[in-house]
Amino acid sequence: MKKFLNDVDDMLSESLRGFGAAQADIVAVHDDPMFVTRAAPRRDKVALISGGGSGHEPLHAGFVGTGMLDAACPGQVFTSPTPDQMMAAAEAVASDAGVLWIVKNYSGDVMNFEMAQEMVDGSQSLLVNDDVAVEDSTYTAGRRGVAGTLIVEKIVGAAAEEGAGLDACVALGNRVIAATRSFGVALTSCTVPAAGTPTFDIGDNEIEMGVGIHGEPGRHREPLGTADAIAGQMMEAILSDLAPAAGGKVLFLVNGFGGTPLMELDLMYGAGAKLLSDHGLTFSRSLVGNYVTSLEMAGCSFTVTALDDEMTRLWDAPVHTAALRWGC
Amino acid sequence: MKKFLNDVDDMLSESLRGFGAAQADIVAVHDDPMFVTRAAPRRDKVALISGGGSGHEPLHAGFVGTGMLDAACPGQVFTSPTPDQMMAAAEAVASDAGVLWIVKNYSGDVMNFEMAQEMVDGSQSLLVNDDVAVEDSTYTAGRRGVAGTLIVEKIVGAAAEEGAGLDACVALGNRVIAATRSFGVALTSCTVPAAGTPTFDIGDNEIEMGVGIHGEPGRHREPLGTADAIAGQMMEAILSDLAPAAGGKVLFLVNGFGGTPLMELDLMYGAGAKLLSDHGLTFSRSLVGNYVTSLEMAGCSFTVTALDDEMTRLWDAPVHTAALRWGC
């Protein structure tokens, strides 16, 4: 294992301290228990709190800030955060407007966020399950939550920033979830620091179609084909499930898993965008980059959200976080 | 070689078309010869044009836009762009205010940009050579130009956007170059698509200290040490050469080479920032991410710029490019 670290046991806390130092104008990193809040929390709005295992950076702490999350709870690598982290985050950022937990659909996350939800009166949850690849997986009952999470966090975050109430945020979030689908592929494995060896073996000419963001198996393996052929399978899986209205506008996110160069992500964006056009869809909003990663895994995912006017307006609204920033 | 591509010969043009489609509000991608301009060029200011071999994305095309570059000329992977690309870019964006070429110090780039400079009357150049690792290298006479280039492009870009004249931009750029030093390390090699095999071999427990952004050799190899020890060597190399005034303010950039997770870059930021503090310096501006990459190479570089008030103000000025965006 070749990584920049001092001691595996300190890696997460040292990384978060570095993140906090680099982004001190945006976030504050809290220890014991560990959570991240905005540098200047606003306690007059619905508090959006997310979290999950680390190793997916910039998700979630990189999306804490104006127009997006109020707090994030990072677990150990690929491990759910604990309810005490969630409770401490809620205490730091919650107001009378209520708390909304944004949860990716993994069994550990679901269980721990449910405990937190029970302990914070009147709080509610959004469960993101955008991955069309498989119905159940290593860590999941039902579909996995993957890169679509950032779209939920951005759009609901903008609504909450404008003063939308808790019920309205829940309804909007569920609309975004219902309009969002993802599919990922992997060319190489990642290596969890505490494990020290690759999560899975994959042949020199193989690709895992439908991989999860922890390296969980997808639908099948096959010989590595052309970018166009891979993009075709990814987009077919998404569009056959999402079935967007012809002539509709979509947000198209090409998300890198950490080890794939931007040059290749841009190429995959071009391949996917052509397929959207061929389906009579307009890619009216776009995002390309490493946003929901799997450590250094080579691979990428496509995410498509069928946009309505309100979702588009809220996507465009100002955001100021470490990883997404526009309009301010 | 495992990469997302259709045909190696088309990789660059397909990638640029995808980039252009994803960033259509910011850039326009031109074919034959290939160059990238702002979507809406401003022809009333000094035109900043950069370029270099591809494979370092988002450098340079990702820095085209308001407040930064007017155009970028991408060469093939790790290969200089040609003078015809540069001339076409100049024709598309130049005004009476003149053209400023921003060139990284590699022999091929220097030769080709010199030819372009001779063909565009009154144009001038900035030669970036921020890498303190080695004096001469595989492709270089003198020090290599690396991640400091984006700092030059950002600060001079802001000045040009405000209406600074050509001579003032040159003087400012040379001040930024004189105040900027970088040092990089690699844990793994990258693979140039046209070559198909890794650029260099490196042992399972080795690190290349002082690596270049094409995988060129640095100062030496050694067994992989702790992050703190690596950061210590990197910062010592930079600060002993830069010799910033005690109590000074610096910009600290931790740049990933493409294959290193953000979690590790944040950890390295923390390690480097502590060393800056120990030297009595204040890291008053920060940037962490994959900005000047070497395809999928695992590794990172530190860049330190000793800031003055004008440089700080221009760094903070609005920028709207694919890869850097704030204030607009």
A3 within some domain: no
Residues linked to residue A299 through DSSP beta bridges, in sequence order: A186
Q: Is A241 in the same domain as A160?
A: no
Encoding tokens for residue A2?
A: 């070749």
CA distance A314 to A156: 8
Catalytic residue, from B214, B220, B279, B320: name it: B214
CA distance A197 to B225: 18
pLDDT in tens, A231-243: 999 999 999 999 9
Whole-number pLDDT of residue A136? 84
Q: Is B170 in the same domain as B281?
A: no
CA distance A259 to B296: 6
Mean pLDDT per block of 10 residues along chain B (328 residues) reads: 97 98 98 97 97 98 98 98 98 97 98 98 97 90 97 98 98 98 98 96 97 96 98 98 95 98 98 97 96 98 98 98 96
Cβ within 8 Å, pair A295-B224: no
pLDDT of residue A138 exceeding 90, the answer is no
B261 in A contact zone (CB under 8 Å): yes
Cβ within 8 Å, pair A298-B296: yes
DSSP E strands, A148-218: 180-186, 206-209
Whole-number pLDDT of residue B54? 98
pLDDT in tens, A50-61: 999 999 999 999
Q: Is A171 in the same domain as A103?
A: yes
Boundary residue ending a domain (B133, B163, B179):
B179
Q: Is B246 in the same domain as B120?
A: no
B142 in A contact zone (CB under 8 Å): no
A255 in B contact zone (CB under 8 Å): no
Q: H or E stretch including A173?
A: helix A166-178
B273 within some domain: yes
Q: Is B170 in the same domain as B186?
A: no
B160 within some domain: yes
Task: Tell me how many domains chain A contains.
Answer: 2
Measuring CA to CA, which residue among A58, A68, A71, A70 is closest to residue A323?
A58
Q: Is B217 in the same domain as B196?
A: yes
Boundary residue ending a domain (A124, A145, A179):
A179
B214 belongs to the catalytic site:
yes
All residues of chain B having their beta carbon less than 8 Å from the beta carbon of residue A270 are 14-15, 17-19, 21-22
DSSP readout, B204-224? TTEEEET--TTS---SEEEE-
Q: Is A148 in the same domain as A272?
A: no
A268 within some domain: yes
User: What type of residue sits at position B138?
Assistant: T
Encoding tokens for residue A242?
A: 């999402």
pLDDT of residue A139 exceeding 90, the answer is no
Cβ within 8 Å, pair A262-B58: yes
Cβ within 8 Å, pair B5-A286: no
pLDDT in tens, A6-44: 999 999 999 999 999 999 999 999 999 999 999 999 999
Q: Is B169 in the same domain as B224?
A: no
CA-nearest residue to B272 within chain A is A18
Stated pTM of the model: 0.98
Q: What is the CATH number of the domain that holds B73?
A: 3.40.50.10440
* A-B C-beta contacts closer than 8 Å: 185
All residues of chain A having their beta carbon less than 8 Å from the beta carbon of residue B283 are 21
A263 in B contact zone (CB under 8 Å): yes
Catalytic residue, from A214, A220, A279, A320: name it: A214
User: What type of residue sits at position B172?
Assistant: L
A214 belongs to the catalytic site:
yes
B245 in A contact zone (CB under 8 Å): no
Whole-number pLDDT of residue A263? 98
The arithmetic mean of pLDDT across residues A316-321, rounded, is 98
Q: Which long-range contacts (CB under 8 A, 24 or more apart) does A5-10 make?
A: A5/A193, A5/B226, A5/B227, A5/B264, A5/B267, A6/B226, A6/B227, A6/B228, A6/B267, A7/B226, A8/A193, A8/A194, A8/A196
Sequence-distant (≥ 6) Cβ neighbours of residue B71 within 8 angstroms: B35, B36, B37, B38, B41, B47, B48, B49, B50, B64, B89, B90, B92, B93
Cβ within 8 Å, pair B263-A54: yes
Q: Is A170 in the same domain as A58?
A: yes
pLDDT in tens, A108-137: 999 999 999 999 999 999 999 999 999 988
CB contact at 8 A, B181 and B130: yes
B113 within some domain: yes
Average pLDDT, chain A: 97
Percent of chain A scoring above 90 in pLDDT:
97
pLDDT of residue A178 exceeding 90, the answer is yes
Boundary residue ending a domain (B161, B179, B197):
B179
Measuring CA to CA, which residue among A45, A28, A46 is closest to residue A37?
A28
Cα torsion through B252, B256, B262, B263, rounded to 10: -80
Q: What is the CATH number of the domain that holds A251?
A: 3.30.1180.20
Q: Is B231 in the same domain as B285?
A: yes
Domain coverage including residue B232? 180-314
User: What type of residue sits at position B59?
Assistant: L
Residue with tokens 């509709």: A248
B58 in A contact zone (CB under 8 Å): yes
DSSP E strands, chain B: 27-30, 35-38, 47-54, 71-77, 99-104, 124-128, 180-186, 206-209, 220-223, 249-256, 282-289, 299-306, 319-320, 325-326
Segments in A220-308 forming alpha helices (H): 227-242, 262-278
B2 within some domain: no
B134 within some domain: yes
A269 in B contact zone (CB under 8 Å): yes
Encoding tokens for residue A292?
A: 């929901």
CA-nearest residue to B22 within chain A is A286
B321 within some domain: no
pLDDT in tens, A255-282: 999 999 999 999 999 999 999 999 999 9
**What is this model's ipTM?**
0.98
Instruction: Looking at the complex, report in whole angstroms how far the Cα of residue A39 sits from the nearest Cα belonging to chain B.
Output: 16
Catalytic residue, from B30, B56, B279, B320: name it: B56
Instruction: Looking at the complex, report in whole angstroms how far the Cα of residue A23 sits from the nearest Cα belonging to chain B.
Output: 8
Residues linked to residue B198 through DSSP beta bridges, in sequence order: B191
